[in-house]
Amino acid sequence: MRTLFFLLLFINLAFAVYIQLEPVARSGPQPAPEFRPEKIKPLPAIAAQATTTCLEWGRFVEADLERVEAAIAKHGLSEQVSRQDIGKAPVYWIHIPPLRSRQHAERKMGELKRLGVTTYTLVQDDSKWNNAISMGFFENIEDAQAFMAALRSKGVRSAIIGARNLEQVKFVAREPSESVTGKMTELKQEFPGSELKTTKCN
């Protein structure tokens, strides 16, 4: 009888221990939740900087500006083009050296006109070039020599080529229309040695 008592006591104790230990086991560490990274959104593409098409005409020096700007106005382009300074640069100058007086210079220009030469300007200032006759500025010697050969073929003998370091400018038309492009092409033909080119400008 005593044996049965102790057997039942052992069973009760074992059951009590089981009841106490089961919640602990269930409350143990749980598996970590699955990591699902969000999609990385790509950075927005940086838009390319907008560019504008420009038409550049040049280059000209101060001695030419009065005649060039008068031609621009004659073609009705004063509002369509803007003047931009470039800075000093070496150029080749075709000219007739200074004459003794304005009267002598005007007489010489009359001779040039009779020979069919129309691209010239009388220099009138306080420099040593006063009363010289300017006939064109060129960036490279080859263009200057070609123009000189054309003058010689017309009978001009007194013109010479000289090198000078002068302030230069260009004229720019932004997004030119067909009409503006056509007029600037005509201007280029009126000024031998000038350059007309299409560029990209901001």
Q: What is the pLDDT of residues 89-114, one digit of tens each?
A: 888 999 999 999 999 999 999 999 99
pLDDT value at residue 197: 93
Asked if pLDDT for residue 136 goes beyond 90, the answer is no
Is-contact 169 83, C-beta < 8 A? Answer: yes
Tokens, residue 4: 């049965």
Q: Give CA–CA dist 128/113, Å, rounded.
A: 25
pLDDT value at residue 192: 74
Per-residue buried b or exposed e for 111-135, using 16+ beta carbons within 10 Å of the residue's own CB: ebeeeebebbbbbeeeeebebbbbb
Least confident of 30-34, 143-147, 161-165: 30-34
Q: What's the average model confidence in pLDDT over 149-177?
A: 94
Asked if pLDDT for residue 47 goes beyond 70, the answer is no
Query: If you average pLDDT over every residue of the chain, what do you get?
Result: 82
Q: Give CA–CA dist 49/61, Å, rounded.
A: 33
Give the start-end residues of each E strand in the chain: 52-61, 82-96, 121-122, 133-138, 160-174, 195-201
Q: Give CA–CA dist 106/88, Å, rounded.
A: 30
Taking CA atoms, 163 is separated from 39, 97, 131, 140, in Å, by 68, 13, 18, 10
pLDDT value at residue 34: 55
pLDDT value at residue 9: 54
Asked if pLDDT for residue 53 goes beyond 70, the answer is yes
pLDDT value at residue 51: 76
Please report, for the chain, the start and end positions of each structural domain, with discontinuous segments joined by +: 52-201
